[in-house]
Structure 1
Amino acid sequence: MRGKVVLVTGGARGVGDGIVSTFLAAGAELEICGRSEPAELRDTGGRRPRFTRADVRDAAQVATWIAAAADRHGRIDVVVNNAGGAPFADFSAASPRFHDKVASLNLMAAVYVCHAAYPYLRESGSGSVVNITSISARRPSPGTAVYGAAKAAVESLTGSLAVEWAPDVRVNAVSCGLVATPGSMDHYGDEEQYAKVAATIPRGVLATPEEIGAACLMLASPLAGHITGAVLNVDGGGEWPAFLQHTPNA
């Protein structure tokens, strides 16, 4: 990826940090954005991403960030729509404003980034978009219902843009299962509870952010030159089917 310019939304922490470190190690130039500047930026072999403060829910801020990045480098080759997430909340108890914010961050942010980046990706001659989605897009997501619905919409967006933008720009998605980030232990509970959560995954462990980054790197690279419109599952085999708990000798 030497000489390639890669943009990652929400690239300063968690899954985004793993994606950034993977692309940096592959030689790419990284531009990242977020609502608040991190205390420190990822340093891989003495190379760091450039951070810009921007709210991806704001189309104007997104367009300004992307235009400035293109002006600095003269090109944009890859965009990774990573920013997203949602706190747990009972659907009926949460406010319409809360649901609107979740939908905006997890769907409309990707729409704004793709829209603003397209002219530069097309001009690069080998542009690639990788959208980060979730296992929640294709199974019930109680407590994060709007998040799951938004991620399902992003998978639909991925397929539509892959067709609309072919052959100039490839558009794919990485569907993440549970990922071990610095906040995972707090989210899932103590060490014992964390182990129980990991046991629901066939591989028995949560993915690392770098494993998500490796999937993004593959999809963005020439190795995936004929892959577009795909959703790649990076989930350790998904989740054990619940009926197996009640099946003898399973």
Structure 2
Amino acid sequence: MALEIDLSGRVVLVTGGARGVGAGIVRTFQEAGAVVEICGRTSPGPGGEGPEPRFSQVDVREEEQVRRWVDEVAQRHGRIDVAVNNAGGGPFAGFASASPRFHRRITDLNFLSAVFVSQFVFPVMNAREEGGSVVNITSISARRPSPGTAVYGAAKAALESLTRSLAVEWAPRVRVNAVSCGLVETEGSADHYGDSEQQARVAATIPRGVFAKPQEVGAACVLLASPLASHISGAVLNVDGGGEWPAFLQHAPGTERLPGQASAG
């Protein structure tokens, strides 16, 4: 029996919701009936199927821009039920050779942007008996070595720590959780993982053997924001297909007989 989540009438903010994982999160909340508002530095332009979320041009690294956006949404709807801190990312760069300015901007985008959004939505959510839900999008890089994107991984680790702290500090009305993403298939996959053959080899390092779809990340967000998760706060939900095959399994004797390991070697 299918279990549908109905978020009709709920107002949801999604940072960086114009493309990639963010667009999948937006679509999933819309399918659940929510009103979605997104922000970013660049307008998404014409979209695909379904209603377009309202877009606001905001640099989430700038606290005053974030404050104005949250205030405008709260005034427009009279409520904010869910905030998804999705904006993030960072190019590959060696730690020693990257500039201090680069490190600062990566930290601002992946950590401080979520700090600003969360801080400004809290009084709006906390003023209502129903409270609200904050969902932070983190990464598998938060809990394993992240060479070439070290500051990105460190910022996501900080975001997971913030999630657990705010879940306690803001209880009982505002729940705070995180979704930790593994590798996700988006329109930018080729830039990160190469052509289709290279992507297949990368996918083989995932126990399920495939990249996540953006909507699968969105489904986790909708679940955590819904009444079904009313007693879940401070959690980090992994959406990573089982994580990663341990490297030693490619070389240890006998492990080739493990289900799926032949494709991961």
- TM-score norm. by structure 1 comes to 0.98
1:131 aligns with 2:136: yes
Instruction: List alignment gaps of at least 5 residues for structure 1.
Output: none
CA contact (8 A) 1:42 1:49 kept: no
Say whether 1:20 aligns with 2:26.
Answer: yes
1:101 aligns with one of 83, 92, 105: 105
For 1:33, which of 36, 39, 64 is the aligned residue? 39
SS of alignment partner, residue 203 of structure 1: coil
Question: 2: CA distance between counterparts of 1:40 and 1:16?
Answer: 16
Shift of 1:249: 1.9
Q: Which residue of 2 aligns with 1:237?
A: 242
Q: Give the structure 1 partner of residue 258 of structure 2.
A: none
2:64 pairs, out of 56, 60, 63, with 60
Aligned to 2:204: 199
Mapped to 2, the partners of 1:41 and 1:84 lie a distance apart of 21
Deviation at 1:126, TM superposition (A): 3.0
Sequence identity percentage: 69
Residue 2 in structure 1 maps to residue 5 in structure 2: no
1:136-180: CA deviations, max 9, x gaps? 000000000000000000000000000000001000000000000
Cα displacement (A) at 1:106: 0.3
Residue 175 of structure 2 corresponds to which residue in structure 1?
Answer: 170
Structure showing greater radius of gyration is 2
d(CA) in 1 for partners of 2:191 and 2:236? 29
User: How many residues are treated as equivalent by the alignment?
Assistant: 248
Identify the residue that residue 55 of structure 2 maps to in structure 1.
51
- Ranges of 4+ aligned residues in structure 1 off by more than 6 Å: none
Runs of at least 5 residues in structure 2 that lack an aligned partner in the other structure? 1-6, 256-265
Instruction: Compute the RMSD of aligned alpha carbons.
Output: 0.8
State the alpha-carbon separation in 1 of the partners of residues 179 and 164 from structure 2. Answer: 12
**How far 1:53 sits from its partner (Å)?**
0.2
Within 1, Cα distance between the matches of 2:47 and 2:57?
13
CA contact (8 A) 1:12 1:42 kept: no
* 3-state SS of paired residue (2:39): strand
Q: What TM-score do you get using the length of structure 2 for normalisation?
A: 0.92
Could you tell which deviates more after superposition, 178-187 or 147-156?
Answer: 178-187
> 1:166, 1:29 → 2: CA distance?
25
2: CA distance between counterparts of 1:153 and 1:43? 36
Corresponding position: 1:190 with 2:195: yes
